[in-house]
Amino acid sequence: ETQIHTHMCYSEFNDIIQNIADMDADVITIECSRSQMELLDAFADFKYPNEIGPGVYDIHSPRVPAREEMVQLMEKAKAVISVDQLWINPDCGLKTRNWDETKKALVEMVGAAKELRLLINESVVV
C-alpha cells in the first residue's frame, strides 16, 4: 500500500486548512517546534481527517533538544489531536545539520517516541 506524505512549513494554516484537507495526503508533517505547537490550533478548530506529524525539534539550530522537551511538545500535540493521528518527526529535512548533530537528535527523538508510547499504553490499560 502506498502512503502519501506532504510537508509544510512557515504557513498560516488557519487560512488554508480546508485546502490541505482537500489534498487528501495520508500524513502532513509541519514545522511546529519553534512555535511550541501553537500552529496546531488550526487543527484543533478544524477536525483534520488524516494524520499529522508536528515537528518536535528545530533543524535550523545546532542545538540537540533533550528527549523530555520533545515529549512535552508531543503532550501539547496530543491535547489537540488524537494519538491515533500523531506522528513524531523533526520540523523539516535535515540538510542543514551535520551527521553528528542529526544522529544525536534522532536518538533523542526515537527515545521520546518510545516514552510516549509507554505513557499512552499505560493510560489505556488503566
Query: Given this model, what pLDDT does residue 10 score?
Result: 78
Q: SS in 3 state form for 17-58?
A: HHHHHHHCCCEEEECCCCCCCHHHHHHHHCCCCCEEEEECCC
CB 28 within 8 A of CB 50: yes
Which residues are registered as beta bridge partners of 5?
Answer: 27
Give the number of residues written for the chain: 126
Query: Given this model, what pLDDT does residue 77 score?
Result: 94
From the candidates 5, 23, 41, 60, give the one annotated as an active-site residue: 60
In tens digits, the chain (126 residues) has pLDDT values of 999 999 988 778 888 889 999 999 999 999 998 889 988 888 888 888 999 999 999 999 999 999 999 999 999 999 999 999 999 999 998 888 999 999 999 999 999 999 999 998 887 654
Query: Given this model, what pLDDT does residue 95 score?
Result: 87
Q: Other C-beta atoms within 10 Å of 57: how many?
A: 25
Question: 5 catalytic, yes or no?
Answer: no
CB 88 within 8 A of CB 56: yes
For the record, the C-alpha cell of 37 comes out as 505547537
CB 78 within 8 A of CB 86: yes
- Domains of the chain in start order, with CATH, are 5-125 (3.20.20.210)
DSSP letter at 95 equals T
Angle subtended by helix axes 67-78 and 99-125, to nearest 10: 50
Query: Given this model, what pLDDT does residue 104 score?
Result: 96
